[in-house]
Structure 1
């Protein structure tokens, strides 16, 4: 029997905890119904000064107990202020390091990857997180090999998953590894999970950071966002900004995590996605209104960023 420890961090997302408990309890029930030993012992883990001593029908055990677990799962966070959230949950980092050193595996749901990233254990490892949090994650943890398009990653004993329902794919991955394919398929059928979804890039929304005080970068962002539909080069769009191109690029990437050219491309792709979702425009009109003049270049860039063709995206997400 494997011991599962679920961290009850500050600002945890309820959906994360509920999904973890529901899936592992279901797998235990499947085994019990087949008169087999249940594979998982589930523990909720908190800190000594926690007010609540029980949650979701489980007693909350202290992370300061000496018991070793086989797998620790870190839920997603609700707070948008990630630096403050990590500070509030820093007490868990020594526990993660100690348990990993003892042989425990660690998995993260969605933005829970930020806490694992803060531990340093992900340095040099592959990982993913919520697709809209990837740029922030990449800036915070540049030594991590971020795979923004992936639904689930595994690098040795470290597992991460993308946003929201990607947690179910992580749990299926773990069940497949610990209990075999038959049990993973049985669980997937019960929860109606498409087991073959391995990408999350088409769920992304380009939400560039504007919470900064760099007026030069803010000016470049405003010019790009106001004029992206013009088939102009990035040099033409930012030519009136009183600074050298090299300085603009350096400061722009430092603040936003991407270059001005990448910012322009992502702005255009986001505009194209909205047109595909909300209008019935012909594809050539979508391409033109998004700032492209070459249909081949547009389709190539769209697929690279979104993970599917423009037509496939429209079929999947168009509001009817």
Structure 2
């Protein structure tokens, strides 16, 4: 499945986000927003076009009536368990409960519904302490699982047939690998990226990572910055030059070529280009080059010097200094950080 794009649009995947009185609102709504923003946000920022998300996230509760999350935030579900549509994925977000106080039978209705959805073919997922509900389904018995490190000890006591891995931020487990579990804290970000990569594609997952500054390590936000390739569209002369630059940015003198193509005096061209894009033509070309350099660093092992040449820089030293100034990381550091993430997401996308 790919991002909806005209005639290639595919039916949206329904993702049910289970809401309970112990639900943490930030994770529930954070997952909802990331899934709903998949593809949509990238196309809006990069192409100024509107596309729908390939996901259809729905908040589902026991009876479909409004309820308050653990922090008092009002949740308005889209459906109850009985009238929820067929689902491709069900997510249990984290629960604000003590790891040392068993849930008992409090959520057995939801646990049975999870079993039924899994039997119907849905992938089940949990974020952080949401693993408490997945474990009660019995579907993890004999498999690995993860949760917040503070919960794993008690989960091991209550569910000894599950191999709990508190040091893992993400575990793919269960029959047919249809149990996906995120560990501590904000590892729900990893869960969202995994689901996007698995059901839509690695490229779309990387887009969401870069837009929302999602990573498993501390990284300068500049490293995620992407080129707004289309800029403003109210100047057709400049728009035509932008289109040319996107295909010929590696040319030896791209700014001079754009000036000639525009038919404008150089000073007039520089002024109109800046007004349309918010940057000078040279900065625009640098940004195009660096954006493609990022993709090369993410995707393969081509030497930095070769990448510099590929994107139009004869001097690899200048390229390295420019990259660090604009991105906040050296090319080698960027590759170590995002090459791993890109390969991981590509591997997820190829599993199916």
TM range (shorter): 0.5 to 0.7
Q: Alpha-carbon deviation of 1:67?
A: 2.5
Aligned to 2:256: none
1:129 to 147, 172, 190: 147
Distance 1:82 1:4 in 2: 30
Q: Take 2:105 and 2:181, find their aligned partners in 1: how far apart are those partners?
A: 21
1:29 to 40, 48, 53: 40
Q: Which runs of 5+ in 2 are unaligned?
A: 1-11, 219-352
Q: CA RMSD in A?
A: 2.6
1:42–1:32 Cα change, 3 Å:
farther
CA drift of 1:56 comes to 7.3
Give the TM-score normalised by the residue count of structure 2.
Answer: 0.51
Contact 2:13 2:55 in 1 (8 A): yes
**Aligned residue runs from structure 1 range 227-306, under 5 A:** none
1:167 maps to 2:188: yes
Residues 95 and 129 in structure 2, CA contact (< 8 A), matched pair in contact too: yes
Partner of 1:192: 213
Q: 1:102 to 1:164 in 2, by over 3 A?
A: same
Of 175, 193, 198, the match for 1:177? 198
**What is the aligned length?**
197
What's the counterpart of residue 54 of structure 2? 39
In structure 2, C-alpha distance between the alignment counterparts of 1:43 and 1:121, rounded to whole Å: 23
1:20–1:165 CA distance, 2 compared to 1 (3 A)? same
Q: Does 1:117 align with 2:135?
A: yes
Deviation, 1:109, is: 0.4
Q: Compared with structure 1, are the counterparts of its residues 56 and 191 closer, same or farther at alpha carbon in structure 2 (3 Å cutoff)?
A: farther
For the residue of structure 2 that corresponds to 1:91, the secondary structure is: helix
Structure 1: gaps of 5 or more residues? 198-320
TM-score by length of 1: 0.56
1:9 aligns with 2:20: yes
1:89 aligned residue: 107
Deviates more, 1:103-112 or 1:43-52: 43-52
Task: Classify 1:176/1:193 alpha carbon distance in 2 versus 1 (closer, same or farther; 3 Å).
Answer: same
Q: CA deviation at 1:147?
A: 1.5
Other structure's SS at 1:87 match:
coil
Name the CA distance, whole Å, in 2 between partners of 1:86 and 1:154: 26
In the aligned structure 1, how far is the partner of 2:203 from the partner of 2:58?
A: 25
Query: How far off its partner does 1:30 sit?
Result: 3.0
Contact 1:122 1:144 survives alignment (8 Å): yes
Q: Could you tell me how far 1:90 is from its partner in structure 2?
A: 1.5
Partner of 2:168: helix, strand, or coil? coil
Cα-to-partner distance string for 1:252-311 (whole Å, 9 max, x where unaligned) = xxxxxxxxxxxxxxxxxxxxxxxxxxxxxxxxxxxxxxxxxxxxxxxxxxxxxxxxxxxx
Residues 1:135 and 1:76: Cα distance change in structure 2 (over 3 Å): same
Displacement, 1:60?
2.9
Summarize deviations over 1:58-96 as a string: whole Å, max 9, x none. Answer: 643010126210000001111216645353212101101
Which position in structure 1 is the counterpart of 2:98? 80
Structure 1 residue 42: Cα displacement: 1.2
Map of 1:71 onto structure 2? 89
CA contact (8 A) 1:11 1:85 kept: no
The verdict on how the C-alpha distance between 1:103 and 1:31 changes in structure 2, with shifts beyond 3 A counting, is farther
> In structure 2, what is the Cα distance between the partners aligned to 1:90 and 1:132?
23
CA shift for structure 1 position 125: 1.5
Contact 2:66–2:76 at 8 Å: present in 1 too?
A: no
